[in-house]
A and B are shown apart, each in its own frame.
Chain A
Amino acid sequence: MRELACDVLVIGAGPAGLAAAATAAEGGSRVVVVDENPEAGGQIWRSAMVHGPHPETSALAARALARGARFLTGATVVDAAGANTLFAVDGAGPIMLRAGRLVLALGATERFLPFPGWTLPGVFGVGGLQALAKNGLEIGNRTIAVAGSGPLLLAVAAWLEQHGAHVLGVFEQAPKASVVRFGLGLWRHPRKLAQAVALLRVLRQVPRHHDAWPLRAEGDGYVERVTFSVSGSERTLQVDYLACAFGLAPTTGLGALLGCDIAGGGIVVDALQHTSIPEVLCAGESTGIGGVDCALAEGVVAGHVASGHDDRARAACRRRDRERGFAETLGQAYALRHELRGLPSPETIICRCEDVPWSVVAESDDVRDAKLKTRAGMGPCQGRVCGGALEFLKRWPRDSVRPPLIPITLGELAEVGAALNRTEDQTR
């Protein structure tokens, strides 16, 4: 098996991971960064194929590379033998990663809520559609409705308009009053205020609805029509695509696998980004949803600590704390409303991997019960989609994960298994 050793292993090359990597490398550590995407940048700086990497990605990566950091992209961390030995898999097979310290910068995923028709092809996530379009999915002249919740709706709607799509409307579930209050509070964050003003200028021709959410999507083999509830009345639109997501949920899988405490949906960290496991730090949206500036600030703190410079880390905490304040108001403004729990009908599929309907899950007491009765959450996505939905619908904590975190070949499984046994023998 291939092996790679370093002082600091950063998992995730989004803003948080890149900031941690650059900071730790400049602090004198040998750094390796792993990310399962083909390119560094994470979600927000996902490179558009035609434009190449985002300038902020290039700048942070260059700082890390100048101090000898190595980037391993297209590789997914799938298993761990404690915090110092991890296993990743890329197209060429497994790799053993040995590290003194670990920085988890796993980011977040979109939260999808089930409603009748949400499984039709052509119903995407919001960031999901943007990610695919950045990679070349044709959207020119397509009619698209953007729905769900959060500032990402406006950002993506504007981006789609600017790239030739025809956005029919933005349907935000939050009440107008709380969105407006949030907008007014942005004066304290001038960079974000300027972004918001620019977005609204692009969207001035696009109807923006509040107190609005999708009731059902219909079509023959792919989405053709979507009916929304808009301030209490129904409205149906013909669409090519529906982009719909209800905010973000922290990615915690690898943290759970390592045994890190998880609370409120995110990996728990202290003031210096330590998780509950020694040698394991966490930064960015896997600790809680806070936006790019918060992710960067947390990454800097984690990078200092990982390279043994707690003093510098403490100096960097102030900026992070200001950004976390913003994260809190964001969460309040876009809190999901109770009505959304009524969206799935009894036949609506909840677990897409195993086609388990809401009628079965609704009667289950907890995740374990649901798994016993059905195979909910046992498919290839390991509950990444239905777990986020059930966290809201049933208030069930997202279930623990099981290795390997993604399906790998039997050969890889055997290799990783053998290496795991060897490592355990050594530590025993």
Chain B
Amino acid sequence: MADAVRILVDGVELSVPGGTTVAVALANAGRLAMHRSVDGEPRGPVCGMGMCFECRASIDGRRDTRSCMVTCVDGMEVITSHA
């Protein structure tokens, strides 16, 4: 396994094993709910493969990015709508 990488989630630093996707990094940090639906319900990842968009977050400024499809890299900034 690659070395640990550090990402910023809603301003809080998180250290995860290299190779981890952002969705898994968030879930393992206790943030299984990653965004709020249009009516304000908490939602989290379902498909793990890029289909459902329920894991979406803003990643390095790209909004509505599927966090299950993005591998964490050092210094990455993630903003969830669930904070």
Q: CB within 8 Å of B: which residues of A?
A: 36-38, 43, 49-50, 74, 76, 91, 109-110, 112, 119-125, 127-132, 135-138, 221-222, 349, 352-355, 379-381, 384-385, 406-407, 409
When distances are taken between beta carbons in the complex, the residues of chain B under 8 Å from A355 are 37-39, 41
When distances are taken between beta carbons in the complex, the residues of chain B under 8 Å from A222 are 32-33, 42, 44
When distances are taken between beta carbons in the complex, the residues of chain B under 8 Å from A131 are 47-49, 68
Q: How far is the CA of A112 from the CA of B1 in the complex (A)?
A: 33
| Residue in A43, A119, A221, A380 whose CB lies within 8 Å of B56 | A380
CB of B51 closer than 8 Å to a CB of A? yes
When distances are taken between beta carbons in the complex, the residues of chain B under 8 Å from A385 are 46-47, 51-52
When distances are taken between beta carbons in the complex, the residues of chain B under 8 Å from A124 are 45-48
Q: Is B46 a contact of A112 with CB atoms below 8 Å?
A: yes
Q: Is B32 a contact of A122 with CB atoms below 8 Å?
A: yes
Q: Is A381 a contact of B53 with CB atoms below 8 Å?
A: yes
Q: Is B46 a contact of A135 with CB atoms below 8 Å?
A: no
Q: For the complex, count residues of B whose C-beta is within 8 A of A.
A: 39
| Residue in A76, A136, A353 whose CB lies within 8 Å of B24 | A136
CB of B14 closer than 8 Å to a CB of A? no
Q: Is A121 a contact of B44 with CB atoms below 8 Å?
A: yes
Most buried by B among A49, A112, A130, A379: A49
Q: How far is the CB of B5 from chain A (nearest CB, A)?
A: 12
CB of B81 closer than 8 Å to a CB of A? no
A/B pair count, beta carbons within 8 Å: 126
CB of B19 closer than 8 Å to a CB of A? yes
Q: How far is the CB of A313 from chain B (nearest CB, A)?
A: 30
CB of B17 closer than 8 Å to a CB of A? yes
Q: Is A352 a contact of B51 with CB atoms below 8 Å?
A: no
Q: How far is the CB of B26 from chain A (nearest CB, A)?
A: 10
Q: How far is the CA of A364 from the CA of B63 in the complex (A)?
A: 32
Q: Is B33 a contact of A38 with CB atoms below 8 Å?
A: no
Q: Is A128 a contact of B47 with CB atoms below 8 Å?
A: yes
Q: How far is the CA of A385 from the CA of B46 in the complex (A)?
A: 10
CB of B69 closer than 8 Å to a CB of A? yes
Q: For residue B1, which residue of chain A has the nearest CB? A: A50
Q: Give me 16 A-to-B residue pairs in the complex whose CB atoms sit less than 8 angstroms apart, sorted by A's number.
A: A36-B50, A38-B69, A122-B32, A124-B45, A128-B48, A128-B49, A129-B48, A135-B68, A222-B44, A352-B37, A352-B43, A353-B37, A353-B38, A380-B56, A384-B53, A385-B46
When distances are taken between beta carbons in the complex, the residues of chain A under 8 Å from B42 are 120-121, 221-222
Q: How far is the CA of A406 from the CA of B65 in the complex (A)?
A: 9
Q: For residue B19, which residue of chain A has the nearest CB? A: A49
Q: Is B41 a contact of A384 with CB atoms below 8 Å?
A: no
Q: Is A352 a contact of B44 with CB atoms below 8 Å?
A: no
When distances are taken between beta carbons in the complex, the residues of chain A under 8 Å from B24 are 132, 135-137
Check A354/B33 contact, CB under 8 A, given A125-B46, A132-B27.
Answer: no
Most buried by B among A43, A110, A131, A137: A137
CB of B77 closer than 8 Å to a CB of A? no
Q: How far is the CA of A112 from the CA of B43 in the complex (A)?
A: 15
Q: How far is the CA of A122 from the CA of B63 in the complex (A)?
A: 23
Check A127/B49 contact, CB under 8 A, given A121-B33, A132-B23, A409-B62.
Answer: yes
